[in-house]
Amino acid sequence: MKNLFFYGTMRHMPLLEIVLGGDTGHLGFEPATLAGFTVSGVAEGPFPMIARDADGTARGLLARGLQPPDVARLDYYEGGFAYDLEEVTLENGERAEVYVPQPDQWTADGPWSLEAWEAQWGALSRFAAREVMGYFGTRSREEVAAIYPRIRARAQAQVNAGAGQAEETRQGRIDIAERNRVYSRFFALDEMKLRYERFDGTMSQTVDRAVFVGTDAAILLPYDPLRDRVLLIEQMRMGPLARGDSAVWQLEPIAGGVDPGETAEQAAHREAAEEARLKIDKLETVAKVYASPGNATEFFHIFLGLADLPDGIAGIAGLDAENEDIRSHVMSFDDLIAMADRDALANAPLVLAVNWLARHRDRLRSDRAGATPE
C-alpha cells in the first residue's frame, strides 16, 4: 500500500473517484503539509503543479492505503499530464509520494485555488476524466495525451448540454446495456446497445446504434446592414470529398469549435478574426440546434454578426497551425438569396441563417438607418 500527498485536483473527491474507478471508502484522508514546495497554477492548462521552493509550503491532503490498482490508475491519469511520483517527507515526518511534473514541462502561473478550479473547471474535468479513464488498459497514456485537447472539447460540449435548452420534451426511460468507443481521435464514434421507453409505456427491444461524437460549434454569418451584403468563406471540405461530390470547395459561414472554458459567443468572435480577419460589432442569435440528432452529438450555435464589410475586405486567411486555407467572399443580399432560391447553397447552417436574415433584414437595416458606410 502507498500513501500519496494530493495538493491539486485529486482533492476534488468526485474526480478522484472517477480516476480510481469507484468510491474511496477504502482510503483514509487527513490534511497534511509539505514544506519546501510551492503549488502554483499552470499557464498551459487549468490545473496546478508543484515545485521545490526552499521557502514554500504546500498544503493538501494525505491519502492512506492506496492499493497497486489504485496507483496504476492514478499513474495513467497523471502521466497523461507528464506527472510522475516522487518520494517526499511531510512536515509531520511521515513519508509519502507526490505527483511532480517532469522538468520544464509546464510554466508556473501564480497561486492556484481548488475552490476556483472546482467552480470553473470541475464539471468539465470530470467529463474529460471519464473519457480518459475509459482508455485505461487499451491505450497508452502518451496516446491519450495526444488527443487530450479534443477530449476536453468533447467534455465542454457535455457541460453545455447540461445547461439544457429553452424547452424540454418528453422524459422517458433509457437503459444503456453497452457503450463502446470504437474510434477516437479528432472526432469519436461510439457503438451502443440500448432499450428505450416507447410512447405506449413499454420498453423497446434492445437496439444497436452508433453515434458520431463531436463538439459544439459556433457558426457565424457576417452581415453589413448599411451596404446590405454578407461575407462567406470558401474552403476544401471533407464531407463533400468523402461523398464524391464534385463541389469539394464549399461556400459557408464562418465556423469553428467552442473551446474549453469558452462561450459560443466568444468562439464566434474568435473565429471571425481567425478565418476572415473580421471584427464583429454585434451578434444576433439565429438558432441553437443539433446538426443531425439521429446520429451525432454535434451541436450548432448559429449567429448573424453585424459587421463593417467595405470593398476590399475579402481575402485569404486561416491559422497555419490548423492547416487552414480560407478565402472570403463578399456578396449582396440579393445575390445570396438568389443562390438560396436556386438551391445553390449546400450548407445547412448557411441556409438557416439566410432565411433568418430574410425575415429580420428590414429590422436590422432600420436599426442602422442614419449611419454612413466608411
- How does strand 174-184 pair with strand 95-101? unpaired
322 counts as catalytic: yes
> Angle, nearest 10°, between helix axes 333-341 and 348-367?
150
User: 268 with 283: CB under 8 angstroms?
Assistant: yes
- Quick one: cell of 183? 474510434
> 134-172 in b/e burial notation, b at 16+ Cβ within 10 A?
bbeeebebeebbebbebbbbbbbbbbbeeeeeeeeeeee
The Cβ-side half-sphere exposure at 273, using a 13 Å CA radius, reads 7
User: CB atoms < 10 A from the CB of 200, how many?
Assistant: 5
DSSP-derived secondary structure letter, 203:
B
Sheet holding 188-196, edge to edge: 174-184, 188-196, 207-213
Q: Identity (one letter) of the amino acid at 324?
A: E
Burial class (CB in 10 A: 0-12, 13-18, 19+), 246: exposed
DSSP 259: P
Map grid coordinates 521552493 to a residue: 53
Task: Kindly report the number of other CB atoms within 10 A of residue 29's CB atom.
Answer: 15
Q: Is 49:56 a contact under the CB 8 Å cutoff?
A: no
Q: Which residue carries 476556483 as its cell?
A: 116
Instruction: Give the H or E element holding residue 74.
Output: helix 68-79
Residue from 115, 271, 322, 324 carrying the catalytic annotation: 322
Task: Give SS3 for 185.
Answer: coil
Single-letter residue type at 192: M
Which is nearest to 27 in space by CA: 6, 8, 57? 6
Provide the annotated active-site residues: 322
